[in-house]
Every structure is written in C-alpha cells, then in structure tokens.
Amino acid sequence: MKKRVPLTGNAAAAEAMRQINPDVVAAYPITPQTEIMMTFAEFVADGLVDTELVTVESEHSAMSACVGAAAAGARVMTATSAQGLALMHEVVYIASALRLPIVMCVVNRALSAPINIHCDHADTMAERDSGWIQIYSETAQEVYDHTILALKLAEHEDVRLPVMVCQDGFITSHGVEPVEVLDDDVVKNFIGEFKPWYPLLDTDNPKTYGALDLFDYYFEHKRQQFEAMKNVPRVYEEAAKELSKITGRQYPKVEGVFPR
C-alpha cells in the first residue's frame, strides 16, 4: 500500500536508501547533502537496515571505500555535494571504469569560490564525462523514484555503470513536499537481488582489479564502457516503464521545461 508522507528531498533519498538496504554506505557529510547521511545513519543506528556504514575522513576516501566494497561484491551507495564531489573526482572515474554499479545521491551545490552552499549544477557538470549516468530530479518525489530506478539501471547486466541521482540543493533537498512512498517489499522486489560480476570476496576464484592496462587493451576496455553507456537509454526506458506500472508516474528520458 502506498502512503503519502511529508519529506524533504534529502529525507526522500534517505527513505529510498532505507528500503534499498545497501550492503555498504561510505560517506562524508557536506552541506546540503548532510541530511541524507544524518537520516540514514539514524536508520543504521536503529537497526532498520543491515548496512555497514563507513564513516570516512574525506570524500576521496568515501568513494575509495565504495569502490573497494563494490569490487568485493557489495551493493553500495553514497551521497555528496559540490566540493565533496570535486574531491572524489579521481575515484569517480575509477568506479565507472571498473564497472561498479554504485548509486550516489548528489545534492547539487555551487562549487567554490566564492563559497556558496546553494544550488547550481557546476559540481555534477564537472563529472559529466566521468562515465557515470546522471539523473536529475526536480521534486522530492522524483528523488525518491529516481533513487530506486537508479539501482535497477546501474545493476542491469547490459549496463553495470554507476549512477548519480541529482537534486537541487536546498530548493529540493530542504523543501518539504508530499511524497508517495512504496511498501518496503515492493521496492525490494523491484530492485531484486544484486549479483556482482566478479566479487573479490569469492576467494575460490582469485582475480585482479585495477591492473596496468597499456596500449594492448586499454581502448578495448574503454570500448566496453562506451558500449554499456550506449545501452543506457534502452535499459532506462525498460526500467522506467516497469516502475511506472507500480507508481502510476511517468519517467521520460527528457522532460520539457513547460509541461503541456
């Protein structure tokens, strides 16, 4: 049974994360994303999720821990904003190139300087070519729906790429709106069980991640990444259609600025 509850964009992201129940979340607080991790940390403390919450000393470490956990075979999520995303930059590329389907909630905020905590999209635009998929959310409802949709898209066999679910700092992240929340079981069934491709914790089959890749195979691996990205529009539409059947809401790839 769907229920309508008042949630901020941040609380909607945290609620989706609770229902997704990721194996590992590694994050560092930064305005205006802080509320996501604050709320999710409460869920962890209250035992509402099974997540291993890794509190790190920087966003570079947060994304590094996410990469390690995802390579180990875990379903992994994180969240950040602005300078935090910029500090992650180096590892953001590693996550996509290692084909680790990490889902990151990004609350868009202007990059310094002058220092400002409010919204612009400079932070995620700087990561546009990083090999991550980006979904932009206008409302708290979209944040909630897109976060669940992002899991499905990231982990799809034809994609296996990380996804950023973006929302506008303060405008969406701190504005309270009515959000229709699905039942936990409905979300669980929609995202399904995560089957990692090459988990490092499968110690009977030892493997290497991140080896040196020179002129012989580097472009072959980049080609694989590109082909996976080419599958995204199709897989997105399939997943969006499936979610629409449950929620009754539409998730077109592109939305006009002025609704008809």
Can you give the binding site for another protein, defined by CB under 8 A? 97-100, 160, 197-198, 205-211, 213, 216-217, 220-221, 223-225, 227-228
Kindly state the smallest distance separating residue 134's Cβ from another protein, in Å.
20
Copy the structure tokens of residue 44: 């962890």
Residue (73 or 175) nearer to another protein, CB: 73
Alpha helix segments (H runs only) across 54-165: 59-72, 82-97, 122-125, 140-155
3-class secondary structure, 248: coil
Residue (212 or 254) nearer to another protein, CB: 212
Residue (186 or 209) nearer to another protein, CB: 209
Residue (115 or 211) nearer to another protein, CB: 211
Instruction: Decide: 127 and 104 in contact? Cβ < 8 Å.
Output: no
Measured distance between the N- and C-terminal CA atoms of the chain, rounded to whole angstroms? 30
Kindly state the smallest distance separating residue 95's Cβ from another protein, in Å.
10
Which of 149, 147, 144, 143 minimizes the C-alpha distance to 245?
149
Kindly state the smallest distance separating residue 231's Cβ from another protein, in Å.
13
Gap between the Cα atoms of 150 and 160, Å rounded: 11
Residue (178 or 210) nearer to another protein, CB: 210
Kindly state the smallest distance separating residue 181's Cβ from another protein, in Å.
35
Gap between the Cα atoms of 163 and 155, Å rounded: 10
Instruction: Decide: 218 and 224 in contact? Cβ < 8 Å.
Output: no
Kindly state the smallest distance separating residue 202's Cβ from another protein, in Å.
11
Alpha helix segments (H runs only) across 98-139: 122-125
